[in-house]
Amino acid sequence: MDELNYLITEHLKCSKIYEENAPWVIKNSNIGGRGLFANRDIEIGEVIYRDNAIILGPRSSMLCPMVCVSCYSQENLYPCSRNCGLPICSEKCENSDVHFQECQLLVGWKRECLYQEINSSLMKCLTPIRSLLLADNKKLLLNLLKSHHGAQHGYEVDILKGKLGLNFKEEEENLMRLTCTVLDANSFEVTVGNEEGRSGLRGLYPLSSLMNHSCSPNTMHNFDKHRNMIVKAAVFIEKGQELFHSYTRLIWGTPVRRTHLERTKHFFCTCSRCNDPTEFGTNISGIVCQKCGDVALPLYDSESHVEWKCATCKFVLSNDKVCLLFRVLGSRVSQFDECDDVEEILKFLKRQIRNYLPPSNQISIELKYRLVWILGHNPKYLWNDLSDDLLKEKEEICRELLKLLEMLRAGQSKMRGLILYELYRCMQEWKRRYRLADDHRALLEEAKEILKDDVNAPKEIQNVTAWIHRHVHDEYTKQFINNIV
């Protein structure tokens, strides 16, 4: 533990983000392995620490779009002129430190097989290659992090060797394989880009790698423009409590979260939310009982066996039948990915699925969340063009989602920040249409508080805070302006 603590401290110091007396400490956790703990009371919204990635790069997923391997832009990509096969977007990126070194490595690995075109498989397998360029103390740190075992981890190295025929040394292969297993256990998705094109990178943040999971986490995180991770308290955290973040989405129901955690992180979650079939009274995993019309909830009698039981009439439905129902509804929902037809989505939500799912079910919630991003944003549904009925619809959905997050005890989550801001914009639109007086500043203030240092936050919030940072240097004036903008 001492060595880990030392190496992490050095890493944070070297990244110039180390804070003396920061409120975290590394200790053994009852949950398993090591964890992070509060070494004093931490106020809601307080920054607990900042972390910097020791490895950052493209994700290996099929869905990962092509990005410049230096600045991660998706625009003006061309193959590196040294024929390494990686996409870059400018001379500056081509000659950046990070790319120049990996380029030399790749070109050295197989001279007769240089790529004049962009090779997308190579780009998707680049992140583990980057571990070869780490300084020795970062390699030591990598070695101390949790790794996953199993045939599914390390396929990137198989692609580099097999499909791409690259020829590296055994010790290089071993380090890349280790890196894949460490990345799979610990990496975070880092979103880059703007409204026109976003993509996800994976980053290995060593301090955050020590944080265990809870489905009702007490921290939230976002990324600043330097891709530092900023971890904040989502709720008040008492001295001695373990710090948790969520490895899944908050609005997924228990069976979906548990399956995801088992597949990707190899553990069965037994947190208080998972152990409560109602999930704190939200019934987010519930289905409509086909016998009495009340809600049936998932009941686990072992890690691998779940069935759905109605609390009122005790009717039981097998997991197979429920999975079939979710598959059918899920495929209908995925058709909405291509069409942003609000009338169709509302018809589906209000009429078609009502016989199968209660309004609080995860599928309904995901669709409502999607509506939040269509109404007011999609070119067919811009704020000015929304009918009063659709504006009301959006306002009600925002309020419903905020209530749900409160019931899930999610505290100051990023999702709360985004929905608060969307609700604020609804209220501004009502104000504009009917010349109302109330400007609902409290909604904007809280959204700003949650999202202020998030590089992906809505422009309005970022612009305000960025301007203040650039132009105002004394705290009193900063606070004054923060209160009036």
Q: Enumerate binding residues for ligand SAM (CB under 6 A).
A: 31-35, 146, 185-186, 209-210, 212-214, 265-267, 269, 271
Residue 110, Cβ neighbours under 10 Å: how many? 14
Residue 306 to residue 309: CA distance in whole angstroms: 10
Specify whether the CB–CB gap between 180 and 59 falls below 8 A: no
Q: Which is nearer to ligand SAM, 274 or 457 (CB)?
A: 274
Shortest approach of ligand SAM to residue 330 CB, angstroms? 26
Q: For 214-268, give the DSSP string.
A: -SS-SEEEEE-TT--EEEEESS-B-TTPEEEE-SS-TTS-HHHHHHHHHHHH---
Alpha-carbon distances, residue 39 vs 13, 18, 21, 194, 465 (angstroms): 20, 16, 9, 37, 30
Cα angle: 480, vertex 410, 218; to 5 degrees = 85
341 CB-near residues (< 8 Å, 6+ apart): none
Q: Which is nearer to ligand SAM, 73 or 186 (CB)?
A: 186
For residue 90 the two structure tokens come to: 């400018």
Shortest approach of ligand SAM to residue 248 CB, angstroms? 11
Shortest approach of ligand SAM to residue 237 CB, angstroms? 17
Helix (DSSP H) and strand (DSSP E) numbers for the chain:
17, 16
Q: Which is nearer to ligand SAM, 34 or 50 (CB)?
A: 34
For residue 86 the two structure tokens come to: 């990686």
Shortest approach of ligand SAM to residue 31 CB, angstroms? 5
Shortest approach of ligand SAM to residue 319 CB, angstroms? 22
- Three-class secondary structure of residue 15 per DSSP: coil
Alpha-carbon distances, residue 230 vs 36, 220, 233 (angstroms): 15, 8, 10
Shortest approach of ligand SAM to residue 414 CB, angstroms? 19
Shortest approach of ligand SAM to residue 10 CB, angstroms? 18
Residue 365 to residue 353: CA distance in whole angstroms: 12
φ and ψ at residue 27, rounded to 5 degrees: -145, 170
Q: Is 362 left (phi over 0), alpha (psi -120 to 50) or beta?
A: alpha
Q: Which is nearer to ligand SAM, 233 or 261 (CB)?
A: 261
Q: Which is nearer to ligand SAM, 32 or 165 (CB)?
A: 32
Shortest approach of ligand SAM to residue 336 CB, angstroms? 33
Shortest approach of ligand SAM to residue 325 CB, angstroms? 28
Residue least distant from ligand SAM (Cβ): 33
Across the beta sheet with 212-213, what order do the strands follow?
24-28, 34-38, 242-245, 212-213
Q: Which is nearer to ligand SAM, 157 or 210 (CB)?
A: 210
Q: Which is nearer to ligand SAM, 110 or 265 (CB)?
A: 265
Q: Which is nearer to ligand SAM, 49 or 348 (CB)?
A: 49
Shortest approach of ligand SAM to residue 409 CB, angstroms? 16
Tokens 């980053």 found at: 203
Q: Which is nearer to ligand SAM, 271 or 353 (CB)?
A: 271
Tokens 């000015």 found at: 384
Q: Which is nearer to ligand SAM, 34 or 448 (CB)?
A: 34
Shortest approach of ligand SAM to residue 311 CB, angstroms? 27
Q: Which is nearer to ligand SAM, 146 or 291 (CB)?
A: 146
> How far does Cα 439 stand from its chain's mean position?
31
